[in-house]
Amino acid sequence: MLGDLVKAGTKAMGGASFGLLNVLPGTLVVTVTTVLVKAHAYELDRPVDLNAALLGRHEAASVLAFALAALVGGILLRPFERLLVQQLEGYWDSPSPLARLSGAAIERHRRRRDDAVAQAQRIEWEPLTFSRRTSDLTSLVAHERRMRRQKQAEKRYRAIVESYPDDKRLAQHDGELPRTELMPTRLGNILRRSERMAGGRYGLDAMVVYPRIYPYVSERLAEAMARQLELLTLSASLSVCFGLLSTITLPLLGRLDIWSLTPLAAAGLCLLAYRGALISAAYTGVVFCTIFDAHRFDLTTAMHYKLPKTAAEEFNFNNRLTRYLGARDAHPLYEDRLMGAEPFSHPDVAPPTSQPPVAPPGGGDGSS
């Protein structure tokens, strides 16, 4: 009976991924810190004794209480997963403690992007080519190596540029701070570029339209999106977890022994997890763009508007529809100056039906 209750509770809280996304990161921090404290690692004048951290038979109740506390803590922290990822993305608006660093971080990424653009253009305008003059074998090999290095450098600069959103579509006004789509972090810039590319190519604001498109997303794409988002959240959680461990274990540097490597190892794992989050974000962006490529017309059909015949007509219609759906006031549709006169189209066939909920990874024990 207890097993059935645990299974039912886990299913209600998000399936098998609940343990990875919620319990594992917090449990890891608490467990490592507890072991180090009980092993006297923070007492710099005493040797570390891992045997002191082992639990005896009389401490079984403590183990059960710790497991229960980890489960309850995971439940309480679940609503903050989105906030955690947003902090790593760079949404540092007040009252975030990082709000004062936002401007400097954005300027750093602006310079990195603009420098990559300039370097890529320089290589494109002044490419290395073989000369028609007769040369010996040694000079030819050396020149070929320089050409290969230049191609690799151009590829690297192009990759940097493609990891940032483009500001060309933003209107700039004299006397005001330059408007930009850049975010303070690399993770935020990768995700922002994906958001803008997914719908921006068709005149849609992805963040406004995606909740309306989601009911019509195919099962395979919905499952792929759920898996990528879970992987992204897990990588972000582990990055913060190891970063916190690195901070907590900083006093161990004073031991000047093998245990002094603990904060350095935690910092390395933090960077590795963040790197994994960047890779996950890039794949998430590919899936997100694919959803709009394949299902953008389902929204038009579901709202009983006429399907556009040309790309320009589609872009203009989507632009008007996005502005109305994203409006902050609740004015009626017939009063809207952009969509009020748009005629409806009521076909004989039914609009696209919504897909059943797609379970995230974990054996179908939750919904996306």
Calculate helix-pair angle for 206-213, 311-325, nearest 10 degrees. 90
Cis preceding linkage at 95, omega within 30: yes
Contacts of 299 (CB under 8 A, 6+ apart): 209, 212, 213, 216, 321
194-205: pLDDT as tens digits? 988 888 889 999
249-265 mean pLDDT: 88
The pLDDT > 70 percentage for the chain reads 77
Global confidence as pTM: 0.78
Q: Are 233 and 360 in contact (CB under 8 A)?
A: no
* CA Rg value for the chain: 27
Residues in CB range of 304: below 8 A, 6 or more apart: 344, 345, 346, 351
Weakest mean pLDDT among 67-76, 178-187, 219-228, 255-264: 67-76
Structure tokens at 208: 């406004």
**pLDDT for the residue numbered 111:** 92
Helix residue ranges per DSSP H, 13-101: 17-18, 24-38, 60-77, 81-89
Q: What average pLDDT does the segment 43-47 reach?
A: 82
How many other CB atoms are there within 10 angstroms of residue 189's CB atom? Answer: 24
What mean pLDDT is predicted for residues 181-203?
90
pLDDT at 336: 84
Angle among Cα 211, 76, 228 to the nearest 5 degrees reads: 40
pLDDT (0 to 100) of residue 187: 92
pLDDT grade, residue 236 (50/70/90)? confident
Phi first, then psi, for residue 49 (nearest 5°) are -125, 100
What is the average per-residue pLDDT within 94-121?
A: 88
> Is residue 336 within 8 Å of residue 324, measured between CB atoms?
yes
pLDDT in tens, 157-169: 999 998 898 877 7
Residue 233 has which token pair?
Answer: 């959240």
Q: Where exactly are the structural domains of the chain? A: 2-88+188-304, 100-184
Q: Give alpha helix (H) positions in 39-182.
A: 60-77, 81-89, 102-125, 137-161
